[in-house]
């Protein structure tokens, strides 16, 4: 009897790396282009972008970077961390397959009573999932303010219940995922910065602007391989004159952020 096996890596805060992610990373390594890499693995550009967006945001180090720093239209390439990820995945996968083959050769698998072997994983629909490190915890009578630092060094504040703080066993220095939905993100021009009192104010550059009949999905690079996505009305996007390469401030209410560990 022969058997095969697949591999899923969970790095830190449930950062899930699958075989399809590795194939995409390898294609980017070879083509230095997300568009060409998507064609190589047989998926759409949007599918490729969304996959990279999720794993880049959740990782404490970017896997894919621009080929020429911040230069526009310079192509993409793997970071050193991205190259190591491919090497790690393939080494572990080959080791697993060798071990499985030895088991198949030494045992009569058909006599085993295997009823149900499964792996369950949870996917979140929230568009924004940012890896960060807790730097401050302020516990009140009912709510707790959790301050965490993103890859860029910028801080975000989340307001959760004291009970949630205890259940999650939050501590300074612990890495967590700040999760919030795209409709929770408000965009404003840089000129409006002084008029806002909201604590969570992030400056970013637009890397994708998808304008629909009613709404617009705007994705911005906020530095160090992390992005955030806002879902705003089409009218708001037209009023702001949103275009790729433009810079805006993103505002996120602390009460709209949930914390994953």
Domain assignment present for 146: yes
Same domain for 156 and 71? no
Domain assignment present for 119: no
Instruction: Report if pTM > 0.85.
Output: no
Same domain for 98 and 170? no
Give the residue with greater pLDDT, 191 vs 193. 191
Instruction: Choose one of 84, 113, 142: the last residue of a domain.
Output: 113
Same domain for 70 and 149? no
Domain assignment present for 123: no
Same domain for 172 and 104? no
Give the residue with greater pLDDT, 203 vs 224. 203
Supply the range of the domain harboring residue 224. Answer: 128-260
Same domain for 92 and 134? no
Domain assignment present for 251: yes
Same domain for 107 and 142? no
Q: What is the pLDDT of residue 239?
A: 92
Q: Span 37-58, mean pLDDT?
A: 87
CATH code, domain with 11 = 1.10.10.10
Digit-coded pLDDT (tens) for 93-151: 888 777 677 666 665 544 443 433 333 344 556 789 888 999 999 999 989 999 999 98
Same domain for 51 and 144? no
Q: What is the pLDDT of residue 235?
A: 94
Q: What is the number of domains present in the chain?
A: 2
Same domain for 182 and 158? yes
Same domain for 140 and 107? no
Domain assignment present for 31: yes
Digit-coded pLDDT (tens) for 3-12: 666 777 776 6
Domain assignment present for 122: no
Q: What is the pLDDT of residue 50?
A: 85
Domain assignment present for 121: no
CATH code, domain with 151 = 2.40.50.100
pLDDT of 257 higher than 80: yes
Give the CA diameter of the chain: 72
Cβ-Cβ contacts under 8 Å for 178 (sequence gap 6 or more): 128, 129, 130, 132, 148, 156, 158, 257, 258, 259
- How far are the Cα atoms of 31, 45, 93 from residue 67, in angstroms, in the given order? 11, 18, 29
Domain assignment present for 118: no
Instruction: Choose one of 80, 113, 146: the last residue of a domain.
Output: 113
Same domain for 184 and 102? no
75 within 8 A of 30, measured Cβ to Cβ = no
Instruction: Choose one of 44, 79, 113: the last residue of a domain.
Output: 113
Handedness of CA 125, 233, 253, 155 (dihedral sign): positive
Helix (H, G, I), strand (E, B) or coil at 251: strand
Same domain for 219 and 243? yes
Same domain for 97 and 190? no
The H or E element containing residue 92 is: helix 80-106
């Amino acid at each position: 009897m022969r058997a095969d096996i697949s591999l899923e890596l969970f790095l830190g805060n449930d950062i899930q790396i699958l075989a399809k992610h590795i194939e995409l990373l390898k294609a980017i390594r070879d083509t230095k282009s997300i568009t060409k890499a998507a064609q190589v693995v047989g998926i759409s550009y949007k599918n490729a972008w969304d996959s990279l967006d999720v794993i880049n945001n959740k990782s404490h180090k970017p896997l894919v970077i621009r080929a020429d720093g911040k230069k526009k239209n310079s192509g993409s390439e793997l970071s050193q961390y991205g190259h190591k990820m491919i090497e790690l995945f393939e080494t572990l996968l080959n080791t697993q397959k060798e071990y499985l083959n030895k088991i198949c050769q030494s045992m009569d698998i058909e006599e085993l009573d295997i009823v149900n072997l499964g792996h369950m994983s949870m996917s979140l629909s929230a568009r924004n999932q940012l890896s960060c490190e807790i730097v401050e915890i302020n516990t009140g009578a009912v709510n707790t303010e959790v301050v965490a630092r993103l890859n860029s060094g910028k801080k975000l504040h989340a307001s959760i219940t004291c009970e949630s703080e205890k259940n999650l066993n939050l501590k300074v220095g612990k890495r967590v995922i700040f999760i919030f939905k795209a409709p929770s993100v408000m965009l404003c021009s840089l000129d409006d910065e002084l008029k806002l009192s909201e604590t969570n104010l992030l400056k970013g550059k637009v890397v994708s602007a998808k304008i629909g009949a009613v709404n617009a999905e705007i994705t911005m690079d906020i530095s160090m391989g992390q992005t955030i996505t806002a879902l705003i009305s089409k009218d708001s996007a037209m009023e702001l004159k949103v275009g790729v390469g433009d810079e805006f401030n993103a505002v996120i209410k602390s009460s709209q952020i949930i914390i994953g560990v």
